[in-house]
Amino acid sequence: MRPCKAAQPLESATGESCQGTTALGRILAVIEILSPGNKDSRAAFRDFVEKTIDFLRKGIHVLIVDLFPPTPRDPLGIHKVIWDETVEEEFTFPPGKDRILASYETGGERAAYVEPIAVGDVMPDMPLILTNWLHVMVPLESTYQTAWDASPEGIRQAVETGVMPETDLE
């Protein structure tokens, strides 16, 4: 995992998401799983980026899972677009790896823990930062496999082939 450190703090001011909160209801962290809809239009893409930046500005840590290929809107991946809002820093995909897992830490000095992956790679566990001194590792691969195993055959075929199954309208 490659940590990226921001040289300066953010200025103050969904795909699927899951939020972690304290007993008092304060959101500590969010997991965002991008969907094709997050990237299919400029408006949807900008909404996703702005929502993520807003979380970070509010001190909410974010874990992003982007298993879709880059688009003209994010040719270097969603991480580069989000991180450039914090600090412009060089980023390139390693050869053959164009999908991104990124965990953002928002306290004090900003940090991004980035794991580029490729189709077919086993997804590593990723840190979900809860506070600047506490994180939990999110078991992405085993979670994905459990969801895959529980998916109906028609859905699995659609994912594998890109063709939606015929629906019985009777």
pLDDT higher than threshold 70 for residue 7: no
Q: Mapped to the 3 state alphabet, what secondary structure does 87-155 carry?
A: CCCCCCCCCCCCEEEEEEECCCCCEEEEEEECCCCCCCCEEEEEECCEEEEECHHHHHHHHHHHCCHHH
pLDDT higher than threshold 60 for residue 3: no
pLDDT tens figures, 40-80: 899 999 999 999 999 999 999 999 999 988 999 999 999 99
Considering the entire predicted model, what is its pTM? Answer: 0.79
Residue 141 phi, psi dihedral angles, 5° rounding:
-65, -50
Q: Which sequence spans correspond to the domains of the chain?
A: 2-137, 139-170
